Structure 1
Amino acid sequence: MTLESELALYRQRITTDSYPMSISEIANLYKDGEIDIHPEFQRIFRWSDSQRTQLIESILLGIPLPSIFVAQSKNGIWDVVDGVQRLSTIFQFMGILRDEDDNLLPPLVCGQAPFLSSLEGVTYQPAEGAAAALTRPQQLDFKRSRVDIKIIKRESDKRAKYDLFQRLNSLGSVATPQELRNCLLVSLSRTHFDWLQDISSSDAFQKVLNLPERLLDEQYHLELALRFVTLRTLPERRISSIGNIGDFLSGEILPFTEKSYSDLRGEQEAFESCFTLLNAALGADAMRKWNPSRERTEGAFSSTAYEVLALGLGYHLPKRDCSIEEVQSARQLLWSDPKFAPGFATGMRADQRMKKTIPYGRQLFSA
């Protein structure tokens, strides 16, 4: 295939339009429910106070903003692909931003700004706790500021939206790769995001992982749930060619959103069976290294334990019964095996480790 033919093919996959809109026009679309900025993103991650203040300052100074990218849904609603944080900041400053439960959020009070020292403590309209508010002329200037809107039309395919989201957001201020995947999931299928969040919040799963608060804040439990779903039955020939695990998981987001309700029910059954059993057998020590000589667990969460015990057990469930004693015995065998002696995974890339751990775990639980 020539470059020209490839260009023709991929240009057909995505149809766009572009035009500038005033902040006032965009705010009216938001108030009328005609633009979806995904309020749940605010729970996943958000800009710092400094970043938000700098955006308001830029608008007041007349500095052009980067384009906002939206995807037109089947019902005509604009779904924000890139620009959620910018629009959320603008709407909160104007006092119209609502959360997931449709509750009005407190208006944004600007912090210390790089150029406009008098902007600190200022709100769009007079508000409790604010030092001052914009004057009427300043409000009008703010509302009349224009933003370029790039529209991905409804006839564009889902893959094009996925690719665009990744390209636009991969260099943004998302704190962790999983937070980007979460936002991508919400953008592509809220149903699948809610499902993943639901299973990762289960009591048994949380107890088995026993993660510190920092990793929970970074959404690592969602990443581990996604690893379970994408790696549990992955053919061994593919395990050996995973490459970078982060890139692999991001690449699996689109196929994951195409899973049917029946597929999700099957995955949830395996997930719940696996972690209920691990919790009953090993509890909060399940994912820690077992020291056979001292007969106790040591250290923090172990990826090796997760890949061998959780993914190994999950591979066979719910097709076969497995006892608490069998799980306990499997942990003993894992940490007594010289192949997984202390230092086994030190300095080893995740994909290189998984070539050994995942097949080992599947064999360990094969009846």
Structure 2
Amino acid sequence: MGVLEDINAHRTELKTDSYTTTISDLLGAYKREDLQINPEYQRLFRWDLERQSEYIESLLLNIPTPPLFFATNPDGKSEVIDGLQRLSTLIKFFAPEIFEGEVEIATAENNEQEQNNLKVATLLLGAPLVASIEGYNVKTLPETLVRTLRYTRVPIILLEKESSVRARYHVFKRLNRSGSVLSDQEIRNCSARLFGNDFPQALRELASDPVVRTAIGIPDEQVRKMAIEEFILRLLANLYSPDPLKHSVIEFLDDFMQYGSEGKFLFNDEKKQVVARTFRLLAKTHPDGQAFRFYREDVPRGAVSTNLFDIVSYGVAKNIDYLEDNSPFLKARIIELHKGEDLKDLTGAGSNTKRKYIGRLQLGEKWFSKPEN
């Protein structure tokens, strides 16, 4: 197929419409549940109060803002695929008019829980141009300004239901990776659910295992951004991907996430056990991510290294039957690994090139294999 035919074939997968609507109509659709936010995506509302206040200020001053992207589902309802932070800011500000029952107004403390809880109505901070909006909320802001917000029109781009799931997946992934606050794995997890929930949910369940968390040993902030899920995905892709790394590691993991979510990867009990046994052994022999940290003065220090993770986790998984009964051998081999030239050659600058990436997996499998007597 030539490039023109290839482009035309993919263009037909994406059908869009664009229009403007008032904030009042937008929030009404959300209240009626005609506009939905995937719960997995909703929990990623992270704009701090400064950015929320600045967005409200932009609307009041008629400063142009980016469009919201929705997708129409087969049931006719719309789902948010880009614009979570902006839409959530509006829902939170107008919370008393949206949610049933009593809604709290944020306190002057504006702690983290208040800033991102949709059912705690926003108490604005002073914005860059209009510092005087500080301290106002939807109930105290002059009614003229509240009406201005309600009837401000915002641009919408709609992916119609005739668009393929694959097209929606790529739109979501590319929009959210263009400079958002989401991590790569959060984007993968949300976008992959367009194909199905089973694989993302399986990753979530494994990542919630305290043994797995002990084995990887990363800070809580990284855990909240789904770094544990990404490490598990990385190991699974290294072990079971039908396609080798072609260009970038990010694309390699994206492709495997899609492969798993489409149901093409049989993540059965046997494969889950390989992952569980690998992390269980490493949690026992090297808790708090020690197996994935570079040695300095004969002690594992610093941040967890994805390069070391590739070597050690893959090598242990490929040799798990032998290593489970020979943990002293595993400990000795990890120490020796840091003394060899192979490790230096396959990490550091350019470590995500195809040669070094594949080299790390080959080194890990051989390094932790049963010695030949």
Assess if the C-alpha contact under 8 Å between 1:233 and 1:315 holds in 2: no
* Secondary structure, aligned partner of 2:158: strand
Match of 2:11 in 1: 11
Unmatched segments (≥5 aa) in structure 1: 126-132
Instruction: Say whether the 8 Å CA contact 2:24–2:150 is kept in structure 1.
Output: yes
Q: Residues 189 and 200 of structure 2 are in contact (CA less than 8 Å); yes or no, is this contact kept in structure 1?
A: yes
Deviation at 1:322, TM superposition (A): 3.6
Of 165, 168, 173, which residue of structure 2 is paired with 1:166?
173
Contact 1:37 1:88 (C-alpha < 8 Å) held by counterparts: no
Q: Aligned residue pairs: how many?
A: 350
TM-score (norm 1): 0.82
Which of 200, 203, 209 aligns to 1:193? It is: 200
Q: Does 1:238 align with 2:238?
A: no
* Aligned mates of 2:360, 2:126 — CA distance in 1: 51
The alignment partner of 1:346 has SS state of: coil
Name the CA distance, whole Å, in 2 between partners of 1:138 and 1:299.
51
Distance 1:68 1:45, change over 3 A: closer
Query: SS state of the match for residue 71, structure 2?
Result: strand
Q: Secondary structure of 1:44's match?
A: coil
Deviates more, 1:261-270 or 1:113-122: 261-270
Alpha-carbon separation, structure 2, partners of 1:3 and 1:339: 42
1:263 aligns with 2:267: yes
Query: What code does the residue aligned with 2:130 have?
Result: L
Match 1:203 to one of 210, 232, 249: 210
1:307 aligns with one of 306, 310, 324: 310
In 2: Cα distance, 1:151 partner to 1:297 partner: 50
Q: Where do 1:312-351 residues align within 5 Å? A: 312-315=315-318, 322-323=324-325, 324-340=327-343, 345-351=347-353
- Maintained 8 Å contact 1:110/1:120: yes
Is contact 2:57–2:127 with CA below 8 Å preserved after alignment?
A: yes
With 24-33 and 61-70 compared, the bigger mean Cα shift is at 61-70
Match of 2:136 among 122, 139, 151: 122
CA contact (8 A) 1:37 1:87 kept: no
Kept in 2, the 8 Å contact 1:82–1:169? The answer is: yes
CA contact (8 A) 1:47 1:173 kept: no
State the TM-score, normalized to the length of structure 2: 0.81
Residue type at the aligned position of 2:248: N
- CA offset digits 1:22-47 (Å, max 9, x no partner): 21111111112221223443543522
* 1:188 CA drift (Å): 4.9
The CA distance in 1 between the partners of 2:79 and 2:22, in whole Å, is 18
Corresponding residue SS for 2:59: helix
Residues 193 and 261 in structure 2, CA contact (< 8 A), matched pair in contact too: no
- Listed as ranges, the gaps of 5+ residues in structure 2 are 101-112
Contact 2:88 2:118 survives alignment (8 Å): no
Cross-structure match for 1:32: 32
Q: Distance in 2 between matches of 1:10 and 1:68?
A: 23
Deviations 1:87-137 (A, max 9, x none): 1111101013799xxx86201121121222221111112xxxxxxx22333
**Segments of 4+ moved more than 6 angstroms:** none
Number of the residue aligned with 2:67: 67
Cα distance in 2 between the residues matched to 1:184 and 1:74: 17
2:358 alignment counterpart = 355
- Matches of 1:79 and 1:153, distance apart in 2: 11
Structure 1 residue 79, shift from structure 2 partner: 1.4
Structure 2 partner of 1:253: 257
Partner of 1:288: 293
Q: How far is the alpha carbon of 1:4 from its aligned partner?
A: 5.0
Question: 1:71, CA displacement in angstroms?
Answer: 1.3
Whole-angstrom CA distance in 2 between matches of 1:249 and 1:360 = 20
Q: Which residue of 2 aligns with 1:128?
A: none
Structure 1 pair 299–60 and aligned structure 2 pair: CA distance change class (3 A): closer
Q: What is the distance in 2 between the residues matched to 1:105 and 1:264?
A: 40
Q: Distance in 1 between matches of 2:361 and 2:346?
A: 14
Separation in structure 1 between the aligned mates of residue 11 and residue 306 of structure 2, nearest angstrom = 42
Moved more, 182-191 or 76-85: 182-191
- The share of aligned pairs that are identical, in percent, is 26
